[in-house]
Amino acid sequence: MAWPTALPLIAILRGITPDDIVAHVEALIEAGFDAIEVPLNSPDWQRSIPMAAQVAGDRALVGAGTVLTPADVDRVADLGGHLLVTPNTDPAVIRQGRARGMYTSIGFTTPSEAFTALQAGAQSLKLFPASIYGPSYIKAIRAVLPPDVPLLAVGGVTPENVGQFLDAGCIGAGLGSDLYKPGQPVSRTRERAEAFVKAYRSV
């Protein structure tokens, strides 16, 4: 297995609106991001996802987060989303994502959930919420996972602590409120994105 983009950091644009999506996606791509998700509990995501996919083109993998049902998978795929991110482990969602040709990054917290996800076809795993479990838990989990499974930390990851998660065995991270908060200016998104890229590359 391999992570499908050059930079294994997912920008999580939770709460973004269609009015803001294009400018923030451009800022993220300019800063070096090439994986972007719009969570499905964001307002008007049905408009934001295709707009994000169109502006990104082949420069970034764009899709949805907080995908909870197979029907949601189909809706995202029909809108041009190619990245499927979940907060939980649901084999039916994973299988539908793979059937629709999406790249799957599946949320888990326990070894049982991790292996359930892999058996259903998950291509990468995200420990959520990572900051609650911490690097020592990641080291323990990493020891029993297949070595080629991409593992990401999501939840509470900052430029200051991302190196700890990478050192513990993660290949990257999903970045939420420390990267983007609804309504923040594009300059803030660019500044935070550059800080994360610099932190990742300095490890």
User: Is-catalytic flag, 126?
Assistant: yes
Instruction: Supply the Cα-derived Rg of the chain in whole angstroms.
Output: 15
Q: Which of 37, 139, 181, 191 is catalytic?
A: 37
The Cα 182–Cα 79 span in angstroms is 22
Could you give the CA distance from residue 38 to residue 24 in angstroms, rounded to a whole number? 12
Q: Which of 184, 157, 152 lies closest to 169 in space, CA to CA? A: 152
Catalytic residue among 26, 30, 113, 126: 126
Are 52 and 38 in contact by the 8 Å Cβ rule? The answer is yes
**Cα-to-chain-centroid distance, residue 11:** 6
Which residue carries 């994502």 as its tokens?
97
Q: What are the residue numbers of the active site?
A: 37, 126
